[in-house]
Structure 1
Amino acid sequence: MTDATGATLTHTFDATPDAVFDAWTTPTLFSTWFGGSANEVPVDSVSIDARPGGTWMATMILGEEMPDLHWHGAYLEVQRPHRLVLTMTDESGDDREVLTADFVAIDSGTELRFSQTGGNLTPEQYGYAASGWHAAFETLDKLLADSP
């Protein structure tokens, strides 16, 4: 669901909350899924300090016709393995989106309850963001399925 204030998605993973949380906070894993299957995120561009006040950054390479995106932000809340709240932007300045990821244990694995809010994008841009997150979560699903 998207509207003028953000995007909300729910995704179920066949993996434990610990495994899904770790995929969000481990650079080698994060670089594998964050760009979805269509974009590259070089592991050497990823820096993650997953603690309240810690920062993160990652470069997403979209292709020859598009400029690279240099994402960065800060962690507001870290409750392993249940919740991450962090900011995100590819711009300079203080306008940042807030990403909230709740990892809920269910019988079949983990339900991710995710939102991107902040009101810094148009409803159309939130629609694109939701599509991008959906693609990333599908890639994360495959990564977790292939893990031992």
Structure 2
Amino acid sequence: MTDSTGATLTHTFGASPDAVFDAWTTPALFATWFGGSANEVPTDSVTLDARPGGTWTATMIVGDEVPEFHWRGEYIEVQRPNRLVLTMTDEPGDERERLTADFLAVDAGTEVRFSQTGGNLTDEQYEYAAAGWRAAFETLDSLLGE
């Protein structure tokens, strides 16, 4: 679901909450799935200081349209393996989107309830963001299934 305040997604992964959480907080794993299968995130561009007040960075190489996104943000909540709350932007200045991921153990593995909020994007940009997160989650699903 998307609207002018953000995007909300739910995805079930066939892996434990610990494994899914670790994929969000381990640079080599994060680099593998964050851009989805269509984009490249060089491992050496990823820094993840997954603790409240810690920062993160990642460069996403998309292709010819926009050569690179330089993502960055701060961690607000880190409760392994149940919850991550962090900020995200690729713009100068202080405006940030808020990413919330709740990791819930279910019979099939882990259900992730994810939202990107902040109201800093248009409806169309939130639709694009949601599509990007869906692609990333599909790539993460494949990674965790290996």
> After superposition, where does 1:39-54 map in structure 2 within 5 Å?
39-54=39-54
Q: Indicate the SS of the match to 2:93.
A: coil
> After superposition, where does 1:1-148 map in structure 2 within 5 Å?
1-146=1-146
The normalised TM-score by structure 2 is 0.99
Q: Unaligned stretches of 5+ in structure 1?
A: none
Which amino acid letter does the alignment assign opposite residue 117 of structure 2?
Answer: T
4+ residue segments displaced more than 3 Å: none
For 2:50 and 2:138, the matched residues in 1 are separated by 23
Identity of aligned residues (%): 78
Q: Indicate the SS of the match to 1:44.
A: helix
Deviations 1:23-74 (A, max 9, x none): 0000000000000000000000000000000000000000134220000000
Q: Indicate the SS of the match to 1:104.
A: strand
The normalised TM-score by structure 1 is 0.98
C-alpha RMSD of matched pairs (Å):
0.5
For 1:6 and 1:36, the matched residues in 2 are separated by 20
Q: Indicate the SS of the match to 2:104.
A: strand
Which amino acid letter does the alignment assign opposite residue 117 of structure 1?
Answer: T
